[in-house]
Amino acid sequence: MRSVTFDASSRRWLLRTPGTSYVVALADDDAPRCLHWGPALTAEQAASLPGPAAFGASSFDSTAGEEELVSEVGARFETPSLQVVLPDGDRGIEWRHDGHEIDGGHLTLRFSDRRHPLLVELHYRVHDDSDAIERWTVLRPQVPVTVLRCDSAAWSVPALDGYRLSHVTGGWSSEHALSRTELAVGETALTSRRGLSSHHANPWLMIDGGDAGERHGEVWSCALAWSGSWRVTFTRTPSGRVNWTGGFGHEGLTWRLEPGEEWVTPVFAGVYAPDGYGEASRRWHDHVARHVLPRPDEPRPVVYNAWEAVGFDVNEANQRDLARLAARVGAELFVMDDAWFGGRTGDSAGLGDWWVNDERFPDGLSPLIDEVHRLGMRFGLWVEPEMVNPDSDLYRANPDWVLHMPGRSRTLLRNQLVLNFARPDVADWAHKWLHKLVSEHAVDFLKWDFNRAFTEAGRPGDPDQDRLWIDHVRAVYSIMDRLRADHPHLRIEACAGGGGRTDLGILARTDQVWTSDNTDAHDRIAIQRGFSQVYPARAMAAWVTDSPNPLTGRAVPLRFRFHVAMAGALGLGGDLARWSEAELSEAAELVAVYKDIRPVVQFGRLWRLPYGVQYVHGDRVVVLAWHGPVAFGTPIAPLRLAGLDPDGRYRDEDTGTVHHGAVLMSRGLPPLTPGGGYSSTLLRLRAC
Ligand code: DGJ
């Protein structure tokens, strides 16, 4: 059970989640410091923790450490979390504790600066059914201040023998590439300066002592709920201490706050797990399902999306044909992708002109939508509200609506520019046409795309133009929130050229993420493994597409492609018109199997296996295993399952064979034998 308690004599607060504890205390100078983040402690144990220690071996060292938000004042030389410039040039905050509030699982620590009217609140929230500790910061200046940095939280871990950092890197079509490296002594920054959480980094991290594995070892992890630019900076001191501070915005931005303003940062949540990366992931999945996703309990439908089939060559006839085939194989939601609107016949024109292209759809969208509904599917549409092609009526009429700087070129990426949603008139325009589109066309689902990074992010005449990096994202959130509130049936998929905008901020107002434009099942295995570190399977959209894959040219059997995609929210994205009768029949069978295992995959708990995944939900277990080509003689280990009842028996739902839980976990299943090809399997077990 969660709880927050305060011990006045030692000026410390104990926060408890079902499985962990966090202790924050005030040092003599009132600076808030972390005393413990780890296994559950009783109040008595928490009270016995040594108080905030004074560090500093010399006059060149920090005298403080483990601070909850690192200020610039005093002997503090870690990366600052809070950098503010006050009217007289004073910087930072000199902490003075003003009090606290406890409201259920929500703790607010209130501080002010000792000399200036600047209020700072540190917020913490814990839940009964999650081991995440949510943290954020609120600034309330009573004088004008310039903010150079205002992070959501700083975190620290106990002294360990080593420090290994897990995070993801990548690029377009290679998102979520898992990296585990020793944290360097010095500073290490993970960041996006692109205006979106990005393909190249993702705002989460895990730290362990270098000794953790999938099923053992302590892991400390954090994830930032923000979909724009961000930065997390680690400091590993030569004396062996590690902390990190993270929040929205990248380095070099400044924001001016006026007296009376309230500056609220996004949540930077932390999860401690005693039993390895796998348990850390499961704790994140539980948290995302229980406190982030808007409709976690709703099964994600089997989508058919026509993008890889027709690209920009969309018309009513080909969409109808594909819709019939999609329904035949069992799709539940038909999504028409790019190029149904304006003069959009390629990526160089029409973006921004959100009316139905009447050459492609002479009678509007209704005939197609009616047909999709008649076939028993819901209807979805692709949109990219934040972008514009210069070759569009919208841009010709409003050239100042885009991010730009008067003396700089307007850099085109994918032939498009970014609309400045920080302008209320632009955000309002977007909300209006989206609202009209959804209202008039019975649209059940939007795939909301975002296909380029920010450049020349200016707004001439705005003295505080760096605010647009934040305000743009807030406007996107607000439009999504309003659309969802006004259209309760509407579901949204977040997309940014694949998985470029995957984060806890966007997941709070969307139902799933388009994981990657790379749909090659072989490549997807690693992409999905990286995705699964923090984000749950129900939010991971995964299509089965054509073979050879249009992007990579790799040929992979249909069954293998299905087995990989079935590990998430299964969809179909191939050119079904070119699939043989046999392939369509096999696809229909596999879609039916997916619908059977869907509750286990989407609502179950994940165990990552060396070459597959296992989901457990109630008395059911699903194993999906896959292996690509190997050199002759390569040893492949049996697949040892996890998370089962060792005393339990499990019946194979397809063959009737009964297995012992203990044997499945110790000896495992016979290994796959791919040889020079691709081998995969799906196992459905039920406790008996
Ligand atoms: C990028 C997306 O990731 C693709 O799935 C597709 O929607 C294209 N954009 C359309 O332009």
Q: What is the pLDDT of residue 62?
A: 84
Q: How far is CA 365 from the centre of its chain?
A: 33
Residue of the nearest CA to atom 6 in ligand 1? 307
DSSP assignments along 35-90, one per residue = EEEEE---HHHHHTS--PPP--SSTTS-S--SBSS--SSSS--SPPSEEEE-TTS-
Pocket probe mutation, ligand 1, options 517, 524, 549, max atoms within 8 Å of Cβ: 517
Average pLDDT, consecutive stretches of 10 residues, N- to C-terminus, the chain (688 residues): 93 97 96 97 95 81 88 91 97 97 98 97 98 98 97 97 97 98 97 98 98 98 98 94 97 96 98 98 98 98 97 98 98 98 97 98 97 98 98 98 97 98 98 97 96 97 95 98 98 98 98 98 98 98 98 98 98 98 98 98 98 98 97 95 98 98 97 95 98
Residue 169, helix vs strand vs coil = strand
Nearest to 626 by CA among 677, 676, 570, 679: 679
DSSP state at residue 266? P
**Cα of 449 from ligand 1 centre, angstroms:** 7
Atom of ligand 1 minimally distant from the CA of 347: 11
From the CB of residue 264, how many other CB atoms can be counted at a distance below 10 Å?
A: 15
- How crowded is the C-beta side of 684, counted as CA atoms within 13 Å? 15
Residue of the nearest CA to atom 11 in ligand 1? 338
Residue 449: active-site member = yes
Residues 132 and 291: beta-carbon distance below 8 Å: yes
**Cα of 395 from ligand 1 centre, angstroms:** 21
Residues 564 and 521: beta-carbon distance below 8 Å: yes
Task: Please pick, among 151, 275, 391, 449, the residue that the annotation labels catalytic.
Answer: 449
Pocket probe mutation, ligand 1, options 495, 513, 519, max atoms within 8 Å of Cβ: 495
**Cα of 123 from ligand 1 centre, angstroms:** 38
Residue 428: active-site member = no
- Please tell me the pTM assigned to this model: 0.98
Residue with tokens 């610039």, as numbered in its chain: 72
Maximum C-alpha span of the chain: 79
- How crowded is the C-beta side of 111, counted as CA atoms within 13 Å? 24
Task: Please pick, among 131, 517, 520, 523, the residue that the annotation labels catalytic.
Answer: 517
Q: What is the pLDDT of residue 63?
A: 79
Pocket of ligand 1 (CB under 6 A): 307, 337-338, 382, 449, 451, 495, 497-498, 514, 517
What is the identity of the amino acid at 511?
Answer: D
Residue of the nearest CA to atom 2 in ligand 1? 497
Pocket probe mutation, ligand 1, options 174, 388, 451, 501, max atoms within 8 Å of Cβ: 451
Cα–Cα distance, 403 to 386 (Å, whole number): 11
**Cα of 430 from ligand 1 centre, angstroms:** 19
Q: Alpha helix locations (H) across 629-676?
A: 661-666
> Taken in order 502, 506, 508, 510, is the CA torsion positive or negative?
negative
Residue of the nearest CA to atom 10 in ligand 1? 338
Atom of ligand 1 minimally distant from the CA of 498: 3
